[in-house]
Structure 1
Amino acid sequence: MGLAQAVRAVANTHDVYEELRRRPIDVVLVDVNLATPDPVHFTREVRQRSRGTAVVMAGPTDPRTAAMVVAAGARGVIRSASADNDDLLVALTQAIMLVCPQVAAQGLPRQRAAMASRSNLTTREMQVLRGMSEGKSNAEIGRDLFVSEDTVKTHARRMFRKLGARDRAHAVAEAFRAGIVH
């Protein structure tokens, strides 16, 4: 997403705690699965180690656990329907934009020369892209637009080509980066 200077990725909770020890961190954005078996304890631990750090979790979780995590001090839980990588990447992209708008505004590069502009996408491609940025499945987008899932896939393929994107998540990230969707 162009946030390499502002974002660090870690593989486990121990590494999160090490990063908190090394430097101030504004936001810990964590996959719920990384915080298992006890995301509530993880949230409390992060908040105890660094009171100024906001915690946001993302991923498939039940409403009860999400409520307990927020009660433990998390800023929020962005629930995805499944552990599908596309769903999680879209959720995480939305979380970064939501929680750190100042970082996103400073860190995201402006539109690339090779990037398609809004005018290069058809109205229908824009509608499909907007649906993807909201985390909707092709079937849900099709229902919203009153077209078949195959038609959505056709528009998506054309849009991917215009954006130079590999898949849904990449298309959404490129669109956020270029300011095509917000």
Structure 2
Amino acid sequence: PEDRMRLVMIYIITQENIKQEERRMLLDEAEIDPEDQVAILALFNMGVSLQQGLAHKKTRKKEGKPEANSYDISRYVPPLRRLLEEAALSTLSLPEYPYVKPPSATGLDQVTADLRANKLSSWASAGSKPKGATAVESAPPGGGRRVVVFIVGGATYSECREMHTASADLGRDFILGSTDMLTPRRFVLDLKEMKPLASLRSNV
């Protein structure tokens, strides 16, 4: 039942122009119980349009574009990768990720220059590494300040993998923290327990 429900969710999220009658037919054909349908309808609370799917496909593909040299060209790359690169180069959006204590301008320029040099060194070594060497073996050791990433609500295994590969590619120590590990089963259970934002605001 959970596999069927997740497949229906994927279809609703990725397809466009899904009419209400079609959605009901999918739920009936998949034999989704009414209590489980709550999880599917809760996708609306996460910004998913249940009638038109997710818009801006080009933007989504750009964020999740796999690496050209990846062994699996269909491998999903989470948006966390872009944030890690911007954090390493000190180019994160300040309105979205403000400093707790702003660094000095001189120190920030030096850190950015060092990180860019490390990144170029990583790319150069990756191109000249001996056959059979892994990215971790050829990457420069982690340097500079550690970057601690804390994800509220749960981190996925793909995000854990991206933390590891980003550390090797960027020559930086990334540390991941989270409130939970978000497995497919945990995600569905969280959807069932999710409350609309309006009801949460009314209780504040």
TM (norm. structure 1) is 0.32
Larger Rg: 2
- TM-score, normalization by structure 2: 0.29
